[in-house]
Amino acid sequence: MISSSVIAGCMRWGTWGAKFSTQEYSTLIQQCIENGITTFDHADIYGHYTTEAEFGKAIALNKGIRKNIQLITKCGINLVTENRPQHTIKSYNTSAKHIISSVEQSLKNLCTDYLDCLLIHRPDPLLNAAEVADTIDTLIQSGKVLEFGLSNFLPHQSALLQQHIKLSYNQIELSLTHTDSLLDGTLEYAMQHGTSIMIWSPLGQGIFAGDHPKKEALLNLFNQLSEKYNCQPSQIPNAWLNQLPCKPIPVIGSTQLNRIVQAKEALNIVMEREDWYRLLEVAIGKEVA
């Protein structure tokens, strides 16, 4: 069971972002643990298939640390990269052979003999639900995987697998700049079936960095509400998400400890209902119907 109220997302810790040294990985891992953030989110493809192994080297520096953390990883995407020369086109692969080989490689990379959670990274039109379920059952029975879930799956896609195997998690994109999941049934389906929701990119793409059409309006409202709730403006998006009845677990992709900790502290903010809808109205550019 994932025990952190927020999850440290590791996608940008390596080649795709900060390019941490082994010691920098180790330092941030330890600092997260000291602040009660013990769950770390990976995918086999991160850093063009290099970030898991870099993280694993840091774990190997202090093997006693493994019992104090939970490791999530994802599989099912084949990237075209020099690290996988056999891939000639970006594609999805949820075959039994691929899932098993991906898990074995992730275990090796992360210097562990079990994964706390394995997620199928994207819906695959060629996914055979019975085959996936049998494969995951085998991995769970062997102790190599403790819990199983999905990433970026819609309700009808989840339902197909739900017929065959328990889904503990669905990791989805949801934020003030990506609100589809509020009304497409994803959250309701998860609550109905006892599936916990993880959220990637909870701050929203393009609000604090980059260009987004609602950026100025949202930042102005963040500033107003941060004064009201005595918090940082960057904490408002996480506080907004935490009001949802499904109590989603945010995956914080920052490489800076203070931002990860601030995201955790934001979960203590109790936002008034009208403020929640005020944020939604600015985000979607109109009042609710």
Q: Is the residue at 229 inside a domain?
A: no
Q: Is the residue at 246 inside a domain?
A: no
Is 229 a residue of the active site?
Answer: no
Backbone angles phi, psi at 239, to 5 degrees: -65, -40
| Residue-level pLDDT at 206 | 73
Question: Do the beta carbons of residue 55 and residue 28 sit within 8 Å?
Answer: no
Question: Do the beta carbons of residue 144 and residue 117 sit within 8 Å?
Answer: no
Q: Is the residue at 160 inside a domain?
A: yes
pLDDT digits (tens, 9 = 90+) for 95-145: 999 999 999 999 999 999 999 999 999 999 999 999 999 999 999 999 999
Q: Is the residue at 88 inside a domain?
A: yes
* Average pLDDT along the chain, 289 residues, taken 10 residues at a time: 93 98 98 98 98 97 92 98 97 98 98 98 98 98 98 98 97 96 97 98 85 89 98 97 98 97 97 98 94
Distance between CA 46 and CA 49 in Å, rounded? 5
HSE-CB at 84 with a 13 A cutoff on CA atoms is 19
Question: Do the beta carbons of residue 71 and residue 9 sit within 8 Å?
Answer: no
Number of separate domains in the chain: 1
- Among residues 46, 169, 189, 229, the one annotated as catalytic is 46
- The residue segments making up the domain with residue 22 are 7-167
| Residue-level pLDDT at 205 | 81
pLDDT digits (tens, 9 = 90+) for 224-233: 999 999 999 9
Taken in order 126, 94, 9, 1, the sign of the CA dihedral is positive
Max Cα-Cα span within the chain: 55
Bridge partners (DSSP) listed for residue 16: none
Q: Is the residue at 156 inside a domain?
A: yes
Q: Is the residue at 38 inside a domain?
A: yes
Return the CATH number at 27: 3.20.20.100
| Residue-level pLDDT at 219 | 95
| Residue-level pLDDT at 177 | 93
| Residue-level pLDDT at 164 | 97
| Residue-level pLDDT at 212 | 82
| Residue-level pLDDT at 49 | 98
Q: Is the residue at 220 inside a domain?
A: no
| Residue-level pLDDT at 9 | 98
Q: Is the residue at 151 inside a domain?
A: yes
Distance between CA 69 and CA 86 in Å, rounded? 33
